Amino acid sequence: MIKTFYLTKEGLEKLKKEYEDLKSIQRNEILESAPSMLEGDALNPDYSFFKENLEELEKRIEELDNILKNYKIIKKPGKSEQDKVSLGAKVVLKNGSSDHEEYKIVGTLEADPFKGLISDESPLGMSFIGKRVGESISFNGDNKYKILKIQYEES
């Protein structure tokens, strides 16, 4: 089964740029700087390092190629669905104490909890999906969150 990768427009542009950079600039630089395979009668250690780097580069290019063939842009849901948390939602929460927290639900490739971006596949992200303003969820037994606001950006 082919995995679908959910991306924001910004996330897609970032991956496209990385893909193009890797394919053109870095691949050419690495191939031009290839050391000789042998150093005298022995295998050149620089060549082994070069081969490892080239394999990592090719693997990342293949990974990006797969993502770019199987992505969907996260879109703002229809008016009747905007009262529920789904991909692309910015959720303002009140946790058990009096602190307010804000998270945006994104696909796994763009998740960065330190920036408030949580994956729809993470335990916390999954617990928010489908919930409405006023509903509460418990997470890890101790943390209780109440949804105060759900926002969607224009797509």
- The phi-psi region of residue 112 (left if phi > 0; otherwise alpha if psi is between -120 and 50; otherwise beta) is beta
What pLDDT, on a 0 to 100 scale, did the predictor assign at position 69? 97
Angstrom distance (rounded) from CA 90 to CA 93: 10
Query: Is residue 146 located within the same domain as residue 83?
Result: yes
**Are 93 and 69 in the same domain?**
no
- Does residue 88 sit in the same domain as residue 146? yes
pLDDT tier, 53 (very low <50, low <70, confident <90, very high otherwise):
confident
Q: Is residue 127 scored above 70 in pLDDT?
A: yes
Distance between CA atoms of residues 110 and 113, nearest Å = 10
Region 39-52: mean pLDDT is 76
Written as six digits, the tokens of 154 are 């224009």
Do residues 50 and 105 share a domain?
Answer: no
Domain boundary pick from 73, 92, 107: 73
pLDDT at 54 (0 to 100): 83
Q: Cα–Cα distances in Å, from 71 out to 1, 5, 15, 36, 40?
A: 14, 4, 11, 40, 49
- Residue 66 shares a structural domain with residue 126: no
Residues 93 and 31 in one domain: no
59 and 87 in a single domain? The answer is no
Question: Residue 116 sits in which domain range?
Answer: 79-152
Q: Are residues 48 and 83 in the same domain?
A: no
Do 89 and 60 have their domain in common? no
Residue 152 pLDDT more than 90?
yes
Regarding whether 93 and 68 lie in a shared domain, the answer is no
Residues 59 and 97 in one domain: no
- Say whether both 59 and 100 belong to one domain: no
pLDDT above 70 as % of the chain: 93
Work out the pLDDT band at 75, boundaries 50, 70, 90.
Answer: very high
Give just the sign of the alpha carbon dihedral 4, 117, 88, 139.
positive
Round to whole Å and give the CA distance between 112 and 17: 19
The count of structural domains within the chain is: 2
Residue 62's CATH number? 1.10.287.180
Domain boundary residue among 73, 88, 112? 73
